[in-house]
Structure 1
């Protein structure tokens, strides 16, 4: 028997946020994330949710007593960093850094969603 779901990576970030449903909706709007599993919690909160962004699964859930929200930084390679950054800002993200060309050959920018996660997005250009 396999030790993990067939289409899941061995490592997946897990985000504990305030407002997991809003974060889930944000990931769908900005990254075209595909919801995989969603388990409702009490009082309209999410106990656990999973989405696929390209080849990666991101897991998340609402903060609760004993499991406080924790700020996180996540990097995502995307086909068009400028378009992704614009979608994020239009979806209500707070700008951190507009996309710029870096010394490493990537064009990269960042924004923070309402749940407190800072997303760094990049497109390899060289």
Structure 2
């Protein structure tokens, strides 16, 4: 068993630098059913570091200290039902940048921009 990474973590995990970690945690829970694994607060109550599990992957996040700008990113997530996930994301405050569409490479995919500006590409692989 590898010891170079924590149990249950993949070798690569997105790390989101956000403006409001509590809001992002809520978005990830509402959209992807994320399970919060860990949260560490600073003395001022802001979130220094948090981790959630989405399916088999860990996403890490934290708030930028001293009001610095967040670092926006683009992340792809495979989900069981792209249409349901897309609708859940919109209900959680995101807007659609690409509606669910069958793609020639075998996925049904869609795109969301969350309330803090991060892009989420979601897909369901279609069995053919």
- Which TM-score tier does this pair reach, normalised by the shorter chain? over 0.9
**Which residue in 1 is equivalent to 2:54?**
53
The 5 A counterparts of 1:3-14 are 3-14=4-15
Matches within 5 A, 1:77-116: 77-116=78-117
Instruction: Name the counterpart of 1:2.
Output: 3
Q: CA deviation at 1:67?
A: 5.7
TM-score (norm 2): 0.91
CA distance in 1, matches of 2:121, 2:24: 15
Q: Which residue of 2 aligns with 1:27?
A: 28
* 2:33 paired with 1:17: no
Larger relative contact order (C-alpha < 8 A, sep ≥ 6)?
Answer: 1
Deviations 1:88-111 (A, max 9, x none): 001111211111111111110011
Cα offset, 1:42, TM superposition: 4.4
Structure 2 unaligned spans of 5+: none
Q: How far apart are the structure 2 equivalents of 1:111 and 1:41? A: 30
**How far does the alpha carbon of each residue in 1:36-57 deviate from its partner, in whole angstroms, 9 at most, with x for none?**
1101124442111000001110
Partners of 1:17 and 1:116 within 8 A in 2: no
Tell me, what secondary structure is at the counterpart of 1:25? helix
